[in-house]
Chain A
Amino acid sequence: MLEELTISITFYLIAAIAVVSALGVIVLRDIFKAALCLVLLFMSVAGVYMMLHADFLAIIQILIYVGAISVLIIVAVMLTRDVRQGFPLSKIKYPAVIVALLLICLIGYGLINTAFALSTKLPLDETIKPIGKQLFSEGGYLLTVEMAAVLLLSAILGAIAIIREK
C-alpha cells in the first residue's frame, strides 16, 4: 500500500513537471528559456520511462535527447539573431487552441471508453539484454537496424550538403 502510494505520488510529480515544462516551451517569450524548459521536459520523460520499467530507453532518452538534440536546438537558438525579442503568434492561434483542446477531449473520451487487454504479468527486470537479442538476432529487427544506419548516414550527409556555403 505504502509502495503504491509512493509510486503514484512520483508519477503525478513527474507528470506535473512534464506538463508544466511543455507549456513553458510554447508560452515563454524568451526562446532560450523555452529551450531550457524543453531540456527539463526531456528529463521528466526519462523519469516516466524509468517508471515504466524501460531502463535502457531512459538512458537512451538522456543520451540522445538531453545530450544531443537539445544541444543542437540551443546552438540553433544562439546562431539565429532575431529570435530574442520573440514573435507574435500566428494568425490561426484561436482555432489552433480550440482544436488542441478538442484533441485532448477526444483522446480522453476514447481512452475511457476502450477496454484494453491488460496483461497481469510482471515486466522484465532489466531490458538491455532482451532488446539487444531482439534487435540483432535472426528473425528479429536486424534489417530495420541496418536501414536506421543508412537513414542516419544520409541525414548526416544531407545536413552537411544543405548547410555548406556555395
Chain B
Amino acid sequence: MLTVGLIHYLILSGVLFSIGFCGVLTQRNVIRIIMCLEIMLNAVNISLIAFSRYIVPEMLTGQIFAIFVMVVAAAEVAVGIAIIFSIYRNRESVDIENFNILKW
C-alpha cells in the first residue's frame, strides 16, 4: 500500500478521466467542456506513461505515444476554439443548448 506502483498511477488516471467525463456530460458552457476534454486527455497520458514506465521501462513506447496525443490535443483545442468563436459571432452565446445549427 505504501510503495507507489503501477496501480496507484492507473487509479489516479481513472479518477481524473471520470471527473473529466462527468464534466463533459454535465456542463453547458462549451469552453468548460473543452477544459474537461483536456482533463480526459491528460488522464490517458498518465496511464500511457505509467504503463511505459512499469512494463517496458527501456522502450519508451508509451512516452512517444503520449507525445502524439499531445500533438492531437493541441490541434483539437485550436480548431475547437476557432469553431466556438465563429458560432459565438452568430449566436452571441457559448451555451451548448444554442449550438443546434446542425440539428435537422
Residues of A within 8 A of B (CB): 4-5, 7-8, 11, 15, 18-19, 22-23, 25-26, 31, 34-35, 38, 41-42, 45, 48-49, 51-54, 56-57, 60-61, 64-65, 68-69, 72-73, 75-77, 79-80, 82-83, 86-90, 92-93, 96-97, 99-101, 103-104, 107-108, 111-112, 116-119, 121-124, 127, 130-131, 134-135, 141, 144, 148, 151-152, 154-156, 158-160, 162-163
**Distance in angstroms between the alpha carbons of A87 and B12 in the assembled complex:** 29
What is the distance, in angstroms, from B31's C-beta to the closest C-beta of chain A? 5
Of the four ranges (under 10, 10 to 19, 20 to 34, 35 or more), the interface on chain B belongs to 35 or more
Given contacts A25-B36, A25-B39, 10 further A-B contacts (CB under 8 A): A8-B4, A19-B16, A22-B19, A52-B50, A72-B78, A73-B81, A80-B85, A83-B31, A119-B55, A135-B64
- Overall SS of chain B's interface: helix
What is the distance, in angstroms, from B60's C-beta to the closest C-beta of chain A? 6
* Docked-complex contact A86 and B29, CB < 8 angstroms: yes
